[in-house]
Amino acid sequence: MRSSNGLSVRQEKILNYIRDFLKKNNYPPAIRDIQNDLGISSTSVVAYNLRILEEKGKISRDGKISRGISIPGMTLDQTVVTSHGFTVPMLGMITAGSPLPNPEAINVEDAEQIEVPAELGSAEKLRDVYALKVRGYSMVDALIGDGDIVLLRYQETADNGQTVVARLVDENAVTLKKFYHEGERIRLQPANVTMEPIFTTPDNLHIQGRVVGVIRSVE
Binding mask 89-118 for its own copies (x = CB under 8 A): -----------------------xxxxxxx
Question: Does the annotation mark 177 as catalytic?
Answer: yes
Looking at residues 27 to 56 of the shown chain, list those that interact with DNA (rule: CB under 7 A).
30-33, 40-45, 47-50, 52
Question: Which has the closest alpha carbon to 151: 117, 196, 175, 190?
Answer: 117
Q: Are 164 and 154 in contact (CB under 8 A)?
A: no
Q: Are 47 and 10 in contact (CB under 8 A)?
A: no
Q: Is 73 in the site for its own copies (CB under 8 A)?
A: yes
- Residue 40, binding choice from DNA, its own copies, none, Cβ under 5 to 8 Å by partner class: DNA
Among 45, 52, 106, 120, binds its own copies (CB under 8 A): 120
Distance CA 117, CA 108 (A): 20
Question: Which has the closest alpha carbon to 91: 107, 67, 80, 77?
Answer: 107
Q: Are 116 and 151 in contact (CB under 8 A)?
A: yes
Q: Is 206 in the site for its own copies (CB under 8 A)?
A: no
CB nearer DNA, residue 40 or residue 150: 40
Distance CA 78, CA 84 (A): 10
Q: Is 155 in the site for DNA (CB under 7 A)?
A: no
Catalog residues that contact DNA under the rule CB under 7 A: 8, 10, 30-33, 40-45, 47-50, 52, 61, 63-69
